[in-house]
Amino acid sequence: MANKFNIEINSEIGDLNGVILHSPGPEIENMTPENAERALYSDILNLTVASQEYAQFNNVLSELTQTFQIKELLTEVISNDKVKNDLIYKICTNENKFHIQDYLSGLENKQLSQALIEGVLKQNDSLTNFLSKKRYALRPLHNFFFTRDASVSLNNEVLINKMASRVRDREAIIMESIFNYYPLFSTKTINANDCNNCAELTIEGGDILIARNDIILIGIGARTTAPGVDFILKTLKEKKERKHIIVQELPLSPESFIHLDMVFTFLDKDKCMIYEPVILKPSRLQTVILTVDNGKVEIKEAENILVALKSLGMDLKPLYCGGSGDNWIHEREQWHSGANFFAIGPGKVIGYDRNIHTIEELNNNGFEVLKAKDILKHKINVRDYSKYVITIEGSELSRGGGGARCMTMPVNRQKVDW
């Protein structure tokens, strides 16, 4: 057996050693305009086009780092019969689907992995089922290719999140099984779903950014709540270490502001990408610094995230989503995840090519623009460049409501020499 793969994330930008992905499959096409909103989509995607775009994204990352696919990880962990049976029971209990428990138990491991993600069609074997308007006995996980949200690597542990919508609960259950039982992963999981009397607690990974080993950024808004931050705060207090949490309040609408990483991402040791109207312009949205030191908590307000980070020794130059021009362009590109970049290393990021003004902003600030298709055709070698942005095709993927950071769950990065 290969060596253990230690989970270790101490920043957003350290050289990437491993990342979990999920290639979108039939689950993203198993919806109609009528149920798209319930599935947390504002539109329905074309699977053929989305798959082609994602394959480009996946293949580029696979050339640069070790990638893990959720479906393959899940198939591996359920090869253990006890894990398989426990997972089926937990899912059936959570979704009240005991009538398909035997059916799921009888599937081969690969088929079961597929069914738990792509869904199980309803069988018209009873009058109740025949009259039901539901298409699925077990609903597809339409959002699972946004692997960022259901779990978060926090240093050498993994937080299993309590999702804001029940349609995503199964994602968190699957990720917990993977981190607990995949034989090569070495980590401890902390499950926010185990919190008693925490009805208002929700946490999603798109709201959590690891700035530095001792600094965490958390957005609160439509998907992550203040009790969710308090849950993380409690775990930090128990460790008796000195840590800082910078909390940024987010607008509840439009839906493009659902997570902090839709308006703020790290690019380099001294640069970040921001959507200026939310991050810098005066508003009623609060920025708060929570400092935990030996179990005690100090809370104070800050002017904005950049001021808060600077007070903790991180002085970042903001680059602007949509560039420095027209506000209409800013809004259009933010809507299509123009602020949502994923770092492969310090000053090495990946994002959608459709956000041309944002890409130009990066280029004007020293980032070489490299097209993913040229990398895959070996026309260029990314290792020849010290600072770059890889642009991927994403006209269809972006309609799902997320970008490169949303579609990645990093599990190991090298430490950054600050």
C-alpha separations of 289 from 129, 241, 245, 260 in Å? 52, 16, 6, 15
Q: Are residues 409 and 153 in contact, defined by beta-carbon separation less than 8 angstroms?
A: yes
Q: How confident is the model at residue 356 (pLDDT cuts 50, 70, 90)?
A: very high
φ/ψ of residue 333, rounded to 5: -75, -35
Using the predicted structure, report yes or no on whether residue 131 has a pLDDT greater than 90. Answer: no
pLDDT at position 36 = 47
147 against 326, higher pLDDT: 147
- Closest by CA position to 75, among listed 117, 37, 35: 117
| Helix (H/G/I), strand (E/B), else coil: 261 | helix
208 against 37, higher pLDDT: 208
Q: How confident is the model at residue 54 (pLDDT cuts 50, 70, 90)?
A: very high
Residues 6+ apart with CB under 8 A from 29: 44, 45, 46, 47
pLDDT in tens, 381-412: 999 999 999 999 998 998 888 999 999 999 99
pLDDT in tens, 80-120: 999 999 999 999 999 999 999 999 999 999 999 999 999 99
Q: At what angle do helices 109-118 and 169-181 cross, to 10 degrees?
A: 150
379 against 47, higher pLDDT: 379
pLDDT at position 40 = 46
pLDDT at position 326 = 83
Q: How confident is the model at residue 253 (pLDDT cuts 50, 70, 90)?
A: confident
Rounded mean pLDDT, 282-292: 92
pLDDT in tens, 293-315: 988 999 999 999 999 999 999 99
What's the chain's average pLDDT? 92
pLDDT in tens, 60-86: 999 999 999 999 999 999 999 999 999
Using the predicted structure, report yes or no on whether residue 415 has a pLDDT greater than 70. Answer: yes
Rounded mean pLDDT, 33-55: 72
The CA radius of gyration of the chain, in Å to the nearest whole number, is 21
| Helix (H/G/I), strand (E/B), else coil: 376 | helix
- Can you give the pTM of this predicted structure? 0.94
Domains and CATH numbers, the chain: 5-110+136-413 (3.75.10.10)
C-alpha separations of 121 from 56, 138, 398 in Å? 30, 7, 28
Rounded mean pLDDT, 47-52: 93
Q: How confident is the model at residue 361 (pLDDT cuts 50, 70, 90)?
A: very high
Rounded mean pLDDT, 187-197: 91
Chain centroid to CA 177: how far?
Answer: 18
pLDDT at position 256 = 80
Q: Are residues 291 and 215 in contact, defined by beta-carbon separation less than 8 angstroms?
A: no
Using the predicted structure, report yes or no on whether residue 30 has a pLDDT greater than 70. Answer: no
- The DSSP code for 110 is H
Rounded mean pLDDT, 354-368: 97
Check the CA dihedral 393-398-400-404 and report its sign: positive
